[in-house]
Structure 1
Amino acid sequence: MEKPTTVRVGDAAALRAVTHPLRARMLGSLRVDGPATASELGRRFGESSGTTSYHLRLLEKFGFIELDPEQPNARDKRWRALHMYTGWSNVEAAKNPALGEAVREMNRRQLNNVVEATAVYEGEKARWGDEWAEVSGHGDHAVRLTPDEAQELRDRITALVHEYHDRRPEPAGTEMVRLFVALFPVDDDMN
């Protein structure tokens, strides 16, 4: 298994580039579904190819994507993600007001993703059947960790997700699932 890559963003403008809702969805699609053209992304997200092409060029400008070396033909440009994840330093964001605001916007976007994914699933729960109803949902855990242990836990969760992602062939009955992980310290009276 090739180690998934993370781009560490220290520039507020670059991070703001991926807080845009359509660009975030397009980048996520390139990361999960693989390379695509502006036209394919336009159909996928109900946008014109001109709109998706514009946003793809911005993602390229900030180093999130590139032209795929394996182009389908001479006319269509297929794009691919350069990294599986986008990361940043919360310590640096605290020192840089513009970067800090971009990080807060990313955190709001991630929280909104959890809320939206939950609402969509709840609205369509019946179509997924009893097996998915039994295993889907939210949960929370409280455990005392050092910062090093917290990093180890994040790394182990990521490795486990990639172990499932990289298995081939996929077992019958697999569906795309979204797993959201939030990890931060809280006061004892909050657990």
Structure 2
Amino acid sequence: MEPSPERRVKRHGVPAQRTDRRLDAHSLRGLAHPLRLRILDILRLQGSSNSTRLAKQVGESTGTVSWHLRQLAQHGFIEEDPGLRSKRERWWRAQARTGVFDTEDLGEESAGREAVVDLLQEVVHWSFDRVARHLRSDLPGEWRNAGNISEWTELRLTAKQMTALTEELIQTVERYLPTSSDAPASDSLPVVVQLQVFPAPPEAEAR
């Protein structure tokens, strides 16, 4: 089901080789596993790799990692890297696509919603575990102080206003996305931006 124009997240300034991919419940099942999330994170942040190298990084057997790589490929999150293909081992790279999950896909049926929410929670847990690992890291102060973890609880918005806010935030981040012609600065590091925008649940409201 194609999202309505009001629900579509507009993409501006995105590199030509980067495309949007709408995530549905089926594709989330291929992603919602802690080891697959970790493997995908490594491929996105560190570039192409193979099962042997990844197995050493995640502390699992090569066979286990190979199986999870095939699952990620089957669901379209990674692909073989033709530039590093060898007779001995397959090399994999992350797909240069952004993932967009439309909450309309949750549907109205309670059982269907529960299944999809369980899958999304696995992804969210992984995202916040990544933040926790950053807080425990030994990066120099310059990098530690450059980031930000904030929360605003004073907002009261309509659904239309919240959609507009989300689009503006995404457009701001995407202005910093590299293009194929950009060479990374010598003092740059991979940076992760996590964004959550949602109505406060009923129990969080003042009584």
Contact 2:22 2:99 in 1 (8 A): yes
**Residues 74 and 162 of structure 1: CA distance in aligned 2, closer, same or farther (over 3 Å):** farther
Contact 2:85 2:91 in 1 (8 A): yes
Structure 1 unaligned segments of length 5 or more: list them.
none
Q: 2:178 aligns with which of 154, 163, 166?
A: 166
1:175 aligns with 2:192: no
Between 1 and 2, higher relative CO (CA 8 Å, sep ≥ 6) is seen in 2
**Residues 41 and 177 of structure 1: CA distance in aligned 2, closer, same or farther (over 3 Å):** same
Percent of aligned pairs sharing the same letter = 27
Residue deviations 1:113-137 (CA, integer Å, cap 9, x gap):
354233323333xx33332343334
1:37 aligns with 2:15: no
In structure 1, distance between residues paired with 2:19 and 2:44: 11
Contact 2:43 2:49 in 1 (8 A): yes
Residue deviations 1:132-189 (CA, integer Å, cap 9, x gap):
3433341123545454543444344334334334163333432333221110123795
Partner of 1:138: 149
Q: Could you list the runs of 4 or more consecutive aligned residues of structure 1 that deviate by over 6 angstroms after TM superposition?
A: none
Partner of 2:66: 53
| RMSD of aligned Cα (Å) | 3.0
Partner SS, residue 32 of structure 2? coil
Q: 2:116 aligns with which of 103, 106, 110?
A: 103
Residue deviations 1:18-58 (CA, integer Å, cap 9, x gap):
11111112223333333322222222222222111111111
Structure 2 unaligned segments of length 5 or more: list them.
1-14
1:5 aligns with 2:16: no
Partner SS, residue 84 of structure 2? coil
Q: TM-score, normalization: structure 1?
A: 0.76
